[in-house]
Structures are given as structure tokens and as C-alpha cells.
Amino acid sequence: MSDNNCAVLFDLTFCSEVAYAVPSNPSLNVTQLTELYDSNAAALYKNFSNSLQQIACNTTLTAQYSLARSCSDCAAAYKQWLCAVTIPRCQDFSSNLSFLLPRNTGQDFINGSRMDENDSLRWAVLTNTSRNPIIDAKVKPGPYKEVLPCKDLCYDLVQSCPAALGFACPEDKWLNGFYGVRSPNGDITCSYLGAAYFLNTAWKYGEGMKQVLWAIVGFWVVLWKLAS
């Protein structure tokens, strides 16, 4: 990343499916960033797990909170959602991709400069801080842009968990401000665990390389036959 405040993290202990760029700071190394993000998510999950234990999961069918979903489904959906929202996917602030949302615009840039005081991004609730408070407090990446988590992560969480836990997705402009939408062509326009950028492009590139390799093989086969 050219702005030097997004760093790629992978191989986390708890959020093991995270493998993308996250808000960072040159003063923190990868090990420190990994521990900061992963331990925060794990601690939040522990609190959730304690609450889930209060639900009668192992009971008769007529007493279960859902005939379609189980507590295991709820736990899996919560972990997917939790890792995606507490470890946001980062892009350069200078990127012009339409699906990105500016974040942490109230802080100075890494190089010490800052946005104009009259810029609306510095004062808007959705843009002047990060989604996760520890990012602004401990990472201090300065302004960056976020690939928003996919809406379906929130929907799946609400559908999978007992109503007693009180999960709900935001509505209207707040939903669009906090969550993104998947692209039908395979590009990553919202963040979910296991996502890789431009899958269609990579596939086409891979297919093209196969064709090139077969052409090379065919060329050498022809030469071999002519020589023999």
C-alpha cells in the first residue's frame, strides 16, 4: 500500500481466516499488529460465548430457539461477523474505488499532515473515526479507506442466533454506512473472511497462462517430430 498505513496480516490464532491488509502504523511490526487485533477479537468472543452458554442449546426440538439453526451455527456466524468488523479491510486513502469508505479522518496522516479543517469528512460520524475504537487509540493509522463488511454477515448473524441475545442489523443509511454489498462479477466490493481480490481476473489470467503453456509444449513437440 502506497500510503504506508495498511499492512497485510495472516495466520492469526483466533481469526484464522483473516488474510488481507488492515489499518496499521509503521511504528508497529506485524507481530504487534497481529496480537493487538487477534487478542481483541478473542476477548470479545469470550464475552459472547459466556452469553451463549445461558441459552438452552442441548434441549428437545420443541424447546429449541430454532428448528433451522443451532447454537453452533450462531457461534460460527458470530465469529465470522466479529473478525470482519473488528479487523477491517484497509485500502489507501488515495484510492478512488467507489465502494470504499473513508475512516479515521479526524487523525493526522502518517506523514504528519492533516485534512483541511473545513472538510466534511473530518466531522462526519461515519468517517472521522474507525469502526473499532482500539484502531484509533492504539494503532493510530491516520486516515485510510475501508472495504466495508458484507451485509450478509450481519443478516446471517441475526438469523442464526437466539433473539434473546439481541442482535440486530442497522437500517437505512446506517446499514449502507456500516456494510457493503457483494459484487456479482466476483470483485471484492465488501469484506468477508477468505475473500481474495479480483477472483475473476485471477481466473482469467490463470486460464491464459494455461493456454500459453500448452502452446509452448505444442511448439516443442512439433520441433521434436521434425528433428526426428
Domain limits of the chain?
6-197, 200-228
* Pairwise CA distance, residues 43 & 64, whole Å: 27
Q: What is the mean pLDDT of residues 124-152?
A: 95
What the block records as the C-alpha cell of 224 is 521434436
34-48, 50-64, 162-176, 202-216: range with highest mean pLDDT: 34-48
pLDDT of 196 reads: 60
What the block records as the C-alpha cell of 41 is 477479537
Q: What is the pTM of this model?
A: 0.81
pLDDT of 218 reads: 45
Closest CA to 107 of 25, 34, 175: 25
pLDDT of 185 reads: 86
* Pairwise CA distance, residues 81 & 192, whole Å: 8
Q: Is the pLDDT of residue 200 over 90?
A: no
Amino acid at 8: V
71-97 confidence digits (pLDDT tens)? 999 999 999 999 999 999 999 999 999
